Amino acid sequence: MGSSFGTLFRISTWGESHGGGVGVVIDGCPPRIPLSAADIQVDLDRRKPGQSEIVTPRKELDECEILSGTFDGLTLGTPIAILVRNKDARPESYSEMREKYRPSHADYTYQAKYGIRNWQGGGRASARETIGRVAAAVVAKKIIAQFAPDLEIIAYVKTIKDLIAEVNPMTVQFETVEGNIVRTGDPKAVDPMVDLIKEMRSEGNSVGGTVECVVRGCPPGLGEPVFDKLEADLAKAMMSLPATKGFEIGSGFAGTQLTGKEHNDPFYMEGDRVRTETNLSGGIQGGISNGEAIVFRTAFKPTATIMTSQKTVSQSGEDTELSARGRHDPCVLPRAVPMVEAMTALVLCDHFLRQHTLSVSPETSNSEDVR
């Protein structure tokens, strides 16, 4: 069950990095939503390898085929199956990994869990698994637009190592982020970040950082009070992405340095809309969106695969060394940006549908904000 996500808008991804392909089945998509493979391809292209000089050169066009669930360009309400074939798999690059565990990778833990693993690549731990998530998120965003046409989800690189982008989450534009290969929201940070990534790669090293994501235009009322708090589901969504080490929302860890008087967000009326003067809550209170911008950050560790000899052990239990080969990102952040947006869309879509199930009461409806 660990390969499914969502309750009402439920996706199930499948596929190893080296095998027949990867894909996703989407169950719970409402009918009559316009959808084509071209729609999906747009976001797959933002995620795919080889898209710029600072990412892995693996040559995968990641062209998708919609196998079911649409007819005449509209969704049918039935499961949507999407397939992307693996094309440029090079298992020979992995022959050494048949016997040796890559440090800080999932080789050892898969072997410990299953007693078997597809050593020809990262298996399900490969970033290729996220293809299905990104594809499904295209559908999710179309559903979200039915509820909140003006809702925007924008992620961007906030930091790489000690380089910090200055970005205002209230005003940052998608075009700015997409206009540079790092996918940061601060034009001045682009060159230093590109230089750092190239330097790391030339040294056979790698680097990490943080992605910040803002959701603007989200109505109040999304999220469930207890376990499925909106921030809890976002935290799980982000921490389910490869290479993540941390999640924080609103004031986050820095908020622990404030007192309650400083931290509380005072309410005020803006016309007939309830607003907060500050937004240390990050747009969510008690697990439920309050109508302010949702702002959160995710930490990505430096890529585990480095082109340097490392101490490790063999599957047969011997101390040894490993020099990684294969084609990898020296920094996952640029390609992580569309993944963060995708997971955000999946969480929001699910919660829009969940909230929609509550809108059945006869009296004054709670569905004013969330259709």
198-237 positions binding a copy of itself, by CB under 8 A: 200, 205-210, 220-229, 231-237
Q: Per rule CB under 8 A, is residue 323 in the interface with a copy of itself?
A: no
Identify the residue among 92, 150, 162, 175 touching a copy of itself (CB under 8 A). 162
C-alpha distance from residue 343 to each of 138, 140, 289 (Å):
11, 10, 17
C-alpha distance from residue 115 to each of 16, 108, 307 (Å):
17, 10, 27
Nearer to a copy of itself by Cβ, of 77 and 179: the residue is: 77
Nearer to a copy of itself by Cβ, of 14 and 174: the residue is: 14
Total length of the chain: 371
- Compose the 72-91 pattern: x for residues touching a copy of itself by CB under 8 A, - for all others: --x-xxxxxx-x--------
Stretch that binds a copy of itself, among 55-63, 100-108, 171-179, 184-192 (CB under 8 A): 100-108
Question: 168: buried, middle or exposed (CB in 10 Å: 19+, 13-18, 0-12)?
Answer: exposed
CA dist., res. 330 & res. 313, Å (int):
23
Q: Please report, in angstroms and rounded to a whole number, the separation of the first and last CA atoms in the chain.
A: 31
Give me the least distance between CB of 82 and a copy of itself, in Å please: 10
Task: Tell me how many residues contact a copy of itself (CB under 8 A).
Answer: 166
Token representation of residue 323: 């020099």
Enter the DSSP assignment of 184.
B
Within 257-276, the residues that bind a copy of itself by CB under 8 A are 257-269, 272, 274, 276
Q: Per rule CB under 8 A, is residue 281 in the interface with a copy of itself?
A: yes
- Compose the 164-203 pattern: x for residues touching a copy of itself by CB under 8 A, - for all others: ------------------------------------x---
CA dist., res. 278 & res. 266, Å (int):
7
Q: Per rule CB under 8 A, is residue 121 in the interface with a copy of itself?
A: no
Q: How many Cβ atoms are within 10 Å of 78's Cβ, its own excluded?
A: 14
